[in-house]
Amino acid sequence: MVLTSTQKLTFEEYLNYQGESGVCYELYRGQLIEMPTPTAIHIKICEFLVYHFRRFFAANNLPLVAVVTTAVRTEENSSRVPDVVICTRSLWEQVCAQPGSAVLDFEEKPLLVIEVTSQNWREDYIRKRAEYDFIDIPEYWIADPNRPKIKVCSRSQNESSYSEREFLPGQQVQSVQFPEFILPVSEVLCPPQVEDLIQEAATHLQQVEQQNQQLEQQNQQLEQQNQQLEQQNQQLEQQKQQVEQQVNLERQRAERLAQRLREIGGDMDAEL
- What 3-state class would DSSP assign to 270? helix
Measured CA distances, 11 to 8, 72, 100, 206 (Å):
10, 11, 11, 50
Q: What is the pLDDT of residue 270?
A: 65
Residue type, 241: Q
Alpha-carbon distance of 173 to 150, in angstroms, equals: 7
Cα 201–50–109 angle (5° rounding)? 145
**Exposure pattern of 204-226 as b/e (b: 16+ CB <10 Å)?**
eeeeeeeeeeeeeeeeeeeeeee
| Stronger pLDDT, 266 or 114, i.e. the higher one | 114
pLDDT digits (tens, 9 = 90+) for 115-145: 999 888 899 999 999 999 999 999 999 999 9
CA 106, 108, 111, 112 torsion-angle sign: negative
Q: What is the pLDDT of residue 155?
A: 87
Contact 93, 47 (CB under 8 A): no
Domains (range + CATH), the chain: 37-192 (3.90.1570.10)
Instruction: Please count the residues of the chain.
Output: 272
Among residues 119, 140, 118, the alpha carbon closest in space to that of 129 is found at 140
What's the longest Cα–Cα distance across the chain? 151
pTM to 2 decimal places: 0.76
Among residues 2, 38, 36, the alpha carbon closest in space to that of 19 is found at 2
**Exposure pattern of 93-132 as b/e (b: 16+ CB <10 Å)?**
eebeeeeebebbeeebbbbbbbbbbbeeeebbeeebbebb
Lowest mean pLDDT among 106-110, 190-194, 202-206, 208-212: 202-206
Q: What is the pLDDT of residue 272?
A: 59
Strand partners, 66: 86
pLDDT digits (tens, 9 = 90+) for 147-169: 999 999 998 777 889 999 999 99
